[in-house]
Amino acid sequence: MPHVTADDGAQIFYKDWGSGGTPVLLSHGWPLNADAWEAAALFLAEHGHRAIAHDRRGHGRSSQTWNGNEMDTYADDLACLIEHLDLTDLTLVGHSTGGGEIAHYVGRHGSARVAKLVLISAVPPLMLEAADNPGGLPIAVFDGIRAGEASDRSQLYRDLADGPFFGHNRNTDISQGVRDAFWLQSMACGHRAAYECIAAFSATDFRPDLAKIDVPTLVIHGDDDQIVPFEVGGARSAELIDGATLLVYENGAHGLPDTDRDRLHADLLAFIDS
């Protein structure tokens, strides 16, 4: 299996599908891995693009490091992968935590290799409530996730998959198989990595990163997202990114790559090819 070695020796797993066409790098949400992007990667590769997806450190088939489970290192690992594959004219696509990862990559490493950006149900600009972010979510929300992670993470992942992640608690038509895949991928994440990543996705302030984005950006968010509420995520990011295009999926849940697969693939392809 292909891996790239990060600066501290961590092994970062990646998939590299298709040939020719412009490259597209897909960054996954917490606590999943590159498998969450299989359908999108296959679709993009079949439509002439090179589709790449990695397992964030601590997740899936990448090293479960004790340190580095925070956004600076995630972004540096992404830079290592992009430079290893010498990717240019690149479209970065991030779902949820992955949206923060790709925004932070641009903030730390610039956009010289990046042509376009897509944020899907993404955590920027800042999920956590603060004095200068009064619309954010209270710390109790994330403490609750941490408590579930620490006490019985297997059940936490089942509860997320059966409830708010896919909107299954609101009668979204999502199969048992997709919910099982969420649990399986989540259990492949290292316990410490999953725990520490909760702070990374909730407390990292991405507003300085969004201010540095200088490439065409598409923001996609469901207006019934129960994990990253639309008003906290997509609506505010679209306001802060110069020239961003916002697509709102009516009644859309958080797990758009599965719940709205066909529409999302069509929107991705149209934006990448535009």
**Is position 19 annotated as part of the catalytic site?**
no
Is 242 a known active-site residue? no
225 included as an active-site residue: yes
Return the sign of the alpha-carbon dihedral for residues 82, 247, 128, 155. Answer: negative
Q: Kindly list the distances between the CA atom of residue 130 and the CA atoms of 123, 127, 204, 210, in Å, as whole numbers in the listed order.
A: 15, 9, 12, 18
The count of other CB atoms within 10 Å of the CB of residue 137 is 17
- Which member of 96, 121, 202, 237 is catalytic? 96
Choosing from 16, 55, 209, 225, which is the catalytic residue?
A: 225
* Residue from 54, 59, 104, 254 carrying the catalytic annotation: 254
Q: In this structure, are residues 214 and 242 in contact, taking their beta carbons and an 8 Å threshold?
A: yes
Q: Which two tokens stand for residue 190?
A: 């290292």
CA-wise closest residue to 128 among 107, 111, 143, 109: 143
Q: Are 55 and 26 in contact (CB under 8 A)?
A: no
Backbone angles phi, psi at 19, to 5 degrees: -150, 155
**Active-site residue numbers?**
96, 225, 254
